[in-house]
């Protein structure tokens, strides 16, 4: 898979935060966050890629690419269904309600299927096929 950097807004950062940690960002540190960025179309000059498309895409006005910075270990394993994946955050434990809220948000964004969320809620837990177990429809 290729990330479409040429279709997303990219910027040169004029001045990085002193420690490079966006987790410590506060509004008073940067009252006008865009003032510190210079938009460019040159990948060799840019420092960051954004979720915002460079140009409006018909039918997608106001929509953004789903992307985020993950601050904990994660594992992505390809599913036996081509183009599908199982994502694990093995050191992250959250209350069941938070997990279901996250699944709801991902379903709202089209990342997971609503049926998967509904089944997870009905069972009281999320479930994934073990990596060596092939989906019944994929067995020969």
Q: Residue 48 in contact with residue 36, Cβ under 8 Å?
A: no
Q: What pLDDT, on the 0 to 100 scale, is given for residue 49?
A: 96
How far apart CA 25 and CA 16 sit, in angstroms, is 11
pLDDT digits (tens, 9 = 90+) for 63-113: 899 999 999 999 999 998 888 999 999 999 999 999 999 999 999 999 999
Q: How far is CA 68 from CA 28, 38, 51, in A?
A: 23, 21, 9
Report helix angle 96-108 to 114-123, nearest 10: 170
| Global model pTM greater than 0.85 | no
């Amino acid at each position: 898979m290729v990330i479409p950097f040429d279709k997303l807004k990219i910027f040169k950062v004029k001045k990085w935060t002193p420690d490079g940690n966006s987790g410590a960002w506060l509004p008073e540190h940067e009252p006008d966050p865009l003032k510190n960025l210079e938009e460019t179309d040159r990948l060799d000059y840019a420092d960051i890629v954004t979720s915002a498309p460079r140009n409006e895409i018909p039918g997608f006005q106001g929509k953004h690419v789903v992307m985020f910075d993950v601050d904990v270990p994660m594992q992505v394993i390809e599913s036996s269904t081509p183009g599908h994946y199982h994502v694990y955050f093995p050191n992250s434990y959250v209350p069941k309600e938070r997990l279901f809220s996250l699944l709801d948000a991902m379903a709202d964004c089209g990342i997971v299927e609503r049926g998967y969320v509904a089944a997870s809620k009905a069972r009281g837990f999320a479930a994934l096929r073990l990596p060596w177990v092939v989906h019944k429809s994929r067995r020969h």
